[in-house]
Structure 1
Amino acid sequence: MERHKTALVLAPALVLVAAAAGCAGQAPLTDAEKLARVEEMVEEVERRFPEVEAVTVEEVGRLLESGGVVLVDARAEREREISWIPGSITSEEFERDPDRYAELTVVAYCTIGHRSSEYAKRQNEDGRRVLNLRGSLLSWTHAGAPLVGPDGPTNRLHVYGKTWDLAPERYETIW
């Protein structure tokens, strides 16, 4: 009887170990699965920052074609050293002379949109209209839009951390 009690106590633990082992051996997410996860994360960002207006990658593309936008990279320097959206400026550059961009639509971005939403919120509170790129770099890359790095066009992307390692398969992610 004692032997059966031990087996019953250990059985749930063995199930958890087996489940964990199965998870570790799972195939990597497909690009479609990554994009679905990005969308879930974006919806959470939008719930946290309802006062921040967001624009899509497609809308930014139209603004870029007309020359009516400045993109502001709200990420840390170590992330920006890897890659950035062509033509974008750093948040520090923007803040040195925000009046220079008064006639343009200002759109901030980061990895997923949380930090750029925080940035846009602060700028908006200071009287500057700054929008957030919905889904930021992860949406940008899933849309097939280009990135550049120190040596020109690149497929390298700093994704801030493992949680945000959701770039399309063709990208080399760093964190």
Structure 2
Amino acid sequence: MKTNVRAGVDAAKNGDGADKEEDNREEEEELVKENARRRAALETTVAKFTDDAVPSMTVREVLNVINNQEENAKRTVLFLDCREKEERAVSIIPGASSAEEFEDDFEKQQDDGKETIVVCYCTIGYRSQKKVQELSKRLARSRPDVKAYNLSGSIVAWTHETDAPKLLDPKTRKETNRVHTYGKTWALQSVEYESVVYKRPVFEAVKGFFFKKKKK
């Protein structure tokens, strides 16, 4: 009798274990689908405002330059965070400078013979694209050895690149899984990251594109 009871208990445990494994597998599949949905939505959104006349790089292209020793010997990569202070306080791409910090550091930087790439980013790339337009004109006159590029998909796209360095909390300098996505509309970050948004979003920076009425 005891043997039968024990066998029944073991069978129940094995059944519970199998159910948990199945639940975990289904949950993982759902996360993969959700991640793919967000990435596709991000690409669609970015395509709506992308100006092909503005130089841009994908996260993968930037990482290839950073991780390639031969490219590293020829180029210096600088990240320029074009977001507001409140957004940057949540997280930044490692090594990124604010607009103010960039201007101060850039004035002191000497031409070392290497091509300098300034990679501008914001939430998904709309504001940073504007910055690249302005910066490129200025650099063409004063520093032709420096090229500005917009990071396509910006910090949200960065979260989707699995081998990209984790975002940093600028205050603690430690890795974080939180990212400011400006508003819920742009909360298309990887499922591994938590979205932070403005409590009362000010859409002035982007409404010119997203909310303007079409002229007839």
TM-score range, shorter chain: 0.7 to 0.9
Q: CA offsets, 1:107-129, max 9 Å, x none?
A: 10111000100111111122353
Partners in 2 of 1:56 and 1:68 — Cα distance?
17
Match of 1:93 in 2: 101
Shift of 1:71: 0.7
Q: Which amino acid is the alignment partner of residue 40 of structure 2?
A: A
Partner residue of 1:137 out of 146, 155, 158: 155
Partner residue of 1:148 out of 154, 165, 168: 168
Equivalenced residue count is 147
Match of 1:161 in 2: 183
Partners in 2 of 1:171 and 1:139 — Cα distance?
11
Partners in 1 of 2:54 and 2:89 — Cα distance?
27
Partners in 2 of 1:101 and 1:36 — Cα distance?
41
Partner residue of 2:120 out of 101, 108, 120: 108
Q: CA offsets, 1:77-130, max 9 Å, x none?
A: 100000000111111111224352764111101110001001111111223531
Partners in 1 of 2:131 and 2:181 — Cα distance?
18
Q: Which amino acid is the alignment partner of residue 138 of structure 1?
A: V
Instruction: In structure 1, list runs of 5 or more residues that go unmatched.
Output: 1-26
> Within 5 A, what are the aligned runs for 1:25-36?
30-36=34-40
Query: Rg bigger for which structure?
Result: 2
Partner residue of 1:37 out of 27, 38, 41: 41
Partners in 2 of 1:58 and 1:50 — Cα distance?
18
Q: CA offsets, 1:26-60, max 9 Å, x none?
A: x99811110000001111121xx232111011111
Match of 1:71 in 2: 79
Identity of matched residues, %: 37
Partners in 2 of 1:136 and 1:107 — Cα distance?
9
Q: Which amino acid is the alignment partner of residue 51 of structure 1?
A: A
Match of 1:11 in 2: none
Instruction: In structure 2, list runs of 5 or more residues that go unmatched.
Output: 1-29, 141-146, 198-216
